[in-house]
Structure 1
């Protein structure tokens, strides 16, 4: 097909504004899938996505469209995630497109992630068409949203499309807008092949399936392709486009979005952002990829059974292919054995990885408490980064810095006071407050990333009854008072439960961990002391009382000294037992402490 009849675009929006539902309607209009096989969120092919109602993986699909001008068009579109943790997925989808549909909820209006995604699209020079969705809702306020599009986003309101993804109203007009407003892809079909890898996934039967956007040239079945970063060659076994399932076409050329199967068995051979070219006529230089992802949250993963280490390693490799933003390296713990130190884009990302490892790869795993990466200046003048409490250079620290974020919160004015109080509680400093209209306010705060990790998002939603939206970007490091808190069982440290904390918050967090451990540890023949300590100073303590045999049961009256003698004898025995007795920490204790850490 001639390049002028192709359109590549993505759908971007704040979470819950209806991207997946709109994708369903576009697919239904194109009749590329039998009506009996059609289901809601058809592009969300993971159980977790369906259960939570969120998109985690960007999904590409090609649909045919017969326009009013009489021509047949080929529309390649990508449904993207909306949560702030998955903005890297969005950036990769944007790299494969020329246009973006910016979806806005008719009742919620412009929210923080809407603005963030719009800037991401503008950075890549994409044409943006605003779309007001959910116009069928009784609470829809279309004139107000149009005003926000003009004033807050600075976009041309004359191009705004009105749709209801639920009922299908306005979808025909939207498809016409895609054809009329988005530019056709540029590229030279006769030049040496250059195809950008914007995603890939692992198929147990076919190996690595590579998702590409061809910028120049053409790639055919049977040809030899080369990965430009590694220089490794592969023979193309199958090539085609996505129409929910794979549809082989035998060739992809400039302007196309599709997949390549080339018998790639080694997961690490494929790098998202790399360029593919033909081995017999290679391109002179690779395409400009997109920026490398930087994790912000760190946690260690250990298998419950240490014999499952190799299996966990293999599962992480396959998962990394499906989720290029996951970063991991080998780690070791005295309490939990061999494992991996992983970097995540946020707490939701961490939760999703945990669920996918357990469901998709059948792994029984334990996660340690999440932490951010601190910059530490040592007494010898050098500096290092620390995200793992086990690597904390105790006694050699001159000063420490923690990552700060610029948080943007858009909220109805009614909840302004409680949200300002929440940000203040989280050590936030207000830098700006703008009234967007008479009902909505945008707050800008600078606050430590560590404070946002655990419960900020949940509290924000509960304080504002779900109406406030939140987006953030990391802005650098600032000085902090950092301490390492050790958790001791009978004076022995448990390394997997140690954590790094801001000094003023350390006592509260240590107390909560001790309280939870007290509920989880079974009683012994002796007292078990659970302590939180900073260096040699104990800052929190709980005691699991001993199981005590009633040694006085056989004494029916008689002299008090006889009873005392029996009690003293029991006391001595318990003392001896404590010296040799070991406290077994059940796996459930780790899980309870870490799960509740996230909820507090």
Structure 2
């Protein structure tokens, strides 16, 4: 009954299958054949094959995973990528069965792979169309648009000598993840690195995990930020994704921040605590819909920057892990945003600057200063840590200087001896 309520499918149409026990697996295969229509295509039309994934092989170059929509081609045909006009003679073509199995011809309706032999990862992108070089298709396959990144962060190698390794790793990841974008960036505190754009928080975490595990890199990620639209005093508009790019306040007429619509599915007993969480982060209630007697879907509009840090963890903690979160872009809205700088010993640290809402600047500045006070080690002199908006200091803490250990020689005796020395 729960599966029927969740999926909206008659329970009689759901096969009872256990892959672990090997029970009724053939029913799933039969259902796929009967219910999923076969692919359509004209094998005599000009070749159109869509690249939906790829990976890099050190011997065969870029291997593109393709679905052939129209036409047919063999391993001796000269092929062309329609977006870059790059031509190549495939080293190998084949299908998955499920391992990569070479074949002589790929025809309309088939899914397979093409070993291009290309060494430059920029020439073969996911979403591109492969066609014949001699008789190309009149136009590429429709429907592919590059996905626009929503979350941005600086990525720096912990060891400056790993900069080239980081660049190569990002290029290889970009080969089968077209939504990852990056460009070189320099920080006074962290040195040379890259400003990377991600689809969202989970995408950023996946990229970070892959860089560290697959490529063995020790990395430093800056605080994530979003893309702001800024209208200058002269009427022109710019788009920024880094606090370092924000102009001076007297040059800004308006700042617009991205808002997203979030949909939270949760048991009904957690509605109150979720509302409190979202409203405290500038969220606006949109809709409430009961899915069944025990579950409800809550819809809110909320600034994207408010869900970047700890929102998902806080949501899971308040609902004991039962709530699920989905979000998508809604619109840009005007907001009173300011740049919060962190100064250590009077010097601004650009890697720690963030863009925050004016109403939250004092609380976030105080939290950032308190955190840095615990992190920065004590020196032979006092170290001042300050949070500032422009030239105005809004929070300060001092890391006290190291002192001589005057109690080192006191190994016993009355406590008043120690008090006199202190």
TM, length-normalised to structure 2: 0.91
**Whole-Å Cα distance in 2 between the matches of residues 430 and 200 of structure 1?**
41
* Shift of residue 165, structure 1, vs aligned partner: 4.5
8 Å contact kept, 1:372–1:450: yes
Match of 1:364 in 2: 218
- Please state whether the residue corresponding to 1:420 is helix, strand or coil: helix
- 2:197 aligns with 343
Task: Quote the residue 1:184 is aligned against.
Answer: 38
1:442 pairs with 2:274:
no
Quote the Cα distance in structure 1 between the aligned partners of 2:18 and 2:233: 62
2:226 and 2:127 mapped to 1: Cα distance? 26
Residue 517 of structure 1 aligns to a residue in which SS?
Answer: helix
**Of 99, 104, 123, which residue of structure 2 is paired with 1:245?**
99
Instruction: State the match for 2:275 in structure 1.
Output: 420
| Within-5 A mapping of 1:15-94 | none
Alpha-carbon deviations, 1:505-550, whole Å to 9, x = none?
2223222222222222222221000111111111222211112348
Tell me what 1:523 maps to. Answer: 378
For structure 1, the 5+ residue unaligned runs are 1-142, 554-600
Q: What is the SS of the residue equivalent to 2:225?
A: coil
Task: Give the aligned partner of residue 5 of structure 1.
Answer: none
Per the alignment, residue 86 of structure 2 pairs with 232
The answer on 1:411 being equivalent to 2:266 is yes
Question: What CA distance in whole angstroms lies between the structure 2 residues aligned with 1:461 and 1:164?
Answer: 30
How far residue 332 of structure 1 moved from its aligned partner, in angstroms, is: 1.3
1:125-144 maps to which residues of 2 (within 5 A)? 143-144=1-2
Contact residue 298 and residue 342 of structure 1 kept, 8 A:
yes
8 A Cα contact 2:386 2:397, kept in partner: yes
1:148 deviates by 4.2
Structure 2: state its 5+ residue gaps: 409-422
Instruction: Give the whole-Å Cα distance in 2 for the aligned partners of 1:309 and 1:343.
Output: 18
Report what 2:414 is aligned to: none
Whether 1:314 and 2:168 are equivalent positions in the alignment is yes
Structure with the higher strand share, 1 or 2: 2
**What residue is the counterpart of 2:333 in the other structure?**
478
Check whether the contact 1:408–1:470 (CA below 8 A) recurs between aligned residues. yes
Aligned counterpart, 2:320 = 465
Could you tell me which of 4, 13, 29 is aligned with 1:175? Answer: 29
Q: Out of 479, 485, 507, which is 2:362 matched to?
A: 507
Q: CA RMSD in A?
A: 1.9
The match for 1:353 is 207
For each residue in 1:305-345, what CA deviation from the matched residue of structure 2 results, as whole angstroms up to 9, or x when unmatched?
33332222121111111222111112111122221111011
Verify: 1:455 aligned to 2:310, yes or no.
yes
Give 1:160 shift.
4.1
Q: How far has the Cα of 1:204 moved from its partner?
A: 2.4
Do the aligned residues in 2 keep the contact of 1:518 with 1:530 (CA within 8 Å)? Answer: yes
Q: Distance in 2 between matches of 1:492 and 1:234?
A: 54
CA distance in 1, matches of 2:228, 2:307: 15
TM-score (norm: length of structure 1): 0.65
1:158 Cα offset (Å)? 6.7
Counterpart Cα distance in 2 of 1:463 and 1:252: 52
The answer on 1:489 being equivalent to 2:347 is: no
Q: CA separation in 2, counterparts of 1:157 and 1:249?
A: 42
Q: Given that residues 432 and 443 in structure 1 are in contact (C-alpha distance below 8 angstroms), is that contact kept between their aligned partners in structure 2?
A: yes
Deviation at 1:195, TM superposition (A): 0.3
Q: Is the 8 A contact 2:146 2:178 kept in 1?
A: no
Match of 2:7 in 1: 149
Count of matched residue positions in the alignment of Structure 1 and Structure 2: 406
CA distance in 1, matches of 2:144, 2:10: 28
Q: As a proportion of its length, which structure holds more helix?
A: 1
Change beyond 3 A, Cα 1:542–1:169: farther
Q: CA deviation at 1:156?
A: 7.4
Distance in 2 between the 1:351 and 1:181 partners?
36
The secondary structure found in structure 1 opposite 2:226 is coil
Secondary structure of the residue aligned to 2:28 is helix
- Distance of 2:50 and 2:15 partners within structure 1: 31
1:377 alignment counterpart: 231
Does the 8 Å CA contact 2:126/2:177 hold for their aligned counterparts?
no
1:223 paired residue among 64, 68, 77:
77
Contact persistence 1:225–1:279 (CA under 8 A): yes
Q: Which SS does the other structure have where 1:477 is aligned? A: strand
Task: Tell me how far apart the structure 2 counterparts of residues 162 and 383 of structure 1 sit (CA, whole Å).
Answer: 58
Q: Secondary structure at the match of 2:4?
A: helix
Deviation (angstroms), 1:391: 0.6
Partner of 1:88: none
